[in-house]
Structure 1
Amino acid sequence: MTHPRRVVVKMERLKDELLVQFTFIVTNMSLSPKNITKLYFNRGTMENYIKEGKFGFAFGKMTSTEFERNACKLQIAIIAYNRHSGFKRLCLPDAMNTKLIDTVRLQIIKIAGKIVRSGRYLRFKLSSHSLYKRVNGNID
């Protein structure tokens, strides 16, 4: 190593846990240890958002060689990401707020079924492989 480095160690013990968790950050910044950990943890959170965009909304898949088409596709994907983020914050319970788009798609949005009208009743018929098939006894 040709440049001096600082090692910042964050120790935390979660509630009802016996062991202490250590986080090591090696840096050349001269900020206070509290500000360094805050900066790096915020950076890690942002990288998780980027990863969700890449894998859940195909931010990184540009299929055309034309800049304008790729820019338009990326903007549409970002709009979809923002709509999903707003949906999570406004409509989902707190337990689902931290879920990735794939989980939300599988658990909420992607439910195969159809509505069948018979007489004066409407019936919602689920796929035979649906997870929610037996949630309510009167659903076929």
Structure 2
Amino acid sequence: MHGTLVFDMDSTNFNAYGHQEGVEFNGHYNEMGLHPFVVYEGRTGLLLDIELRSGAVYTSNNAENYLAQLLDHFSERSVVLRGDSGFATPKIYDMAADHGVDYVIRFKDNALLKKLPSLVVASDPDFTLDGKEHFYSFHYQSPRWREPHRLILVAKQNVEELMPTYQYFITSLKSKAETVVQFYRKRGQMENYIKETKSGFFADHVSSQNFFVNEARMMIACLAYNIMQLMKLLVFPPRQRIWQIGTIRTHLLDIAASVSAHARKTWINLTCGHPGLGLFWPILENIQRLQV
């Protein structure tokens, strides 16, 4: 999948404590706030798009239309969608199929699906209480689906556990079941991207009563996040590309100084030495060599 874009889709909570427009109670987070929809590129960590929404909106509400517009924008690129169980809806499967893109989505079990694991596992003589994951793949069609889809079942049982644990994934990918699940689990890095966008760049600070003002402020914060993410990818040494913005500020941007006022002048005395100088100059040289 060289050159393929990985769309990691999710939603998050922006806590709010005032009377901001759109702030509602969200049962999933059990908090008052706004509930934006976000899409990151899974391999680079770049934020591809974000949409501020009311706090009461469910995760996948209108997600198929939102994703369709984003896919149209990247129509010349190969794309794979990854999402948690909040996006396990027929509208998203159908939208992905109509756009010719693959997907892997965590799937919630249901009354019909709960009957399958015992049948699948019982027919596997290699399934034992070894604490290892066993992977199974089969096609399944819910009454609400327009066509069958591939389901992957991951079963695991430890000696000390009474019953096996099961995980389900719905996918259009043709790779081995274990490979597909490993690919999905890399989506866990997205939680760090969301945390960095919110905590590092304060995208979740919704301080205005006006929804549009809060959305504009969020967009500026997200733009700053992407600029810094690109900077890490393009000009930082490999070991420093994993740094978060707090570390970058401490090592490269925060410079100690003393301020003194004399008569009509204020003097800012910068230090002549800095622990980050050995990293600062190589990064600056890399920036100057960039071909924009």
Structure 2 length as normaliser, TM-score?
0.32
Q: Is the 8 A contact 2:201 2:221 kept in 1?
A: yes
Q: Which of 25, 34, 41 is 2:179 aligned to? A: 34
2:221 is matched with which residue? 77
2:206 is matched with which residue? 62
Shift of 1:131: 5.7
Secondary structure of 2:195's aligned partner: helix
Q: Which amino acid aligns with 1:111?
A: I
Q: Which of 108, 115, 130 is 2:252 aligned to? A: 108
Cα 1:53–1:26 change in 2 (3 A) is farther
Q: Which amino acid aligns with 1:7?
A: V
Shift of 1:78: 0.7
Shift of 1:77: 0.3
Shift of 1:55: 0.8
Query: Aligned equivalents of 1:109 and 1:33: distance in 2?
Result: 43
Verify: 1:90 aligned to 2:234, yes or no.
yes
Q: Which of 33, 41, 46 is 2:190 aligned to? A: 46
Cα 1:66–1:104 change in 2 (3 A) is same
Shift of 1:90: 2.1
Shift of 1:8: 5.9
Query: Aligned equivalents of 1:26 and 1:110: distance in 2?
Result: 48
Q: Is the 8 A contact 2:203 2:219 kept in 1?
A: no
Write the deviation string for residues 63-114 of structure 1: whole angstroms up to 9, x where unpaired. 1121110010011001100111121122221111011010001111111238
Query: Aligned equivalents of 1:66 and 1:55: distance in 2?
Result: 22
Cα 1:94–1:26 change in 2 (3 A) is farther
Structure 2: runs of 5 or more not aligned: 1-108, 118-152, 157-164, 172-176, 259-268, 279-292
2:154 is matched with which residue? 7
Higher relative helix content = 1
Structure 1: runs of 5 or more not aligned: 10-24, 115-123, 136-140
Cα 1:26–1:55 change in 2 (3 A) is farther
Higher relative strand content = 2
Structure 1 length as normaliser, TM-score?
0.63
Query: Aligned equivalents of 2:218 and 2:207: distance in 1?
Result: 11
**Which one has more relative contact order, counting CA pairs under 8 Å at least 6 apart?**
2
Secondary structure of 1:29's aligned partner: strand
Task: Report % sequence identity.
Answer: 27
Secondary structure of 1:28's aligned partner: strand
Secondary structure of 1:27's aligned partner: strand
Query: Mean alpha-carbon deviation: is it higher for 87-96 or for 72-81?
Result: 87-96
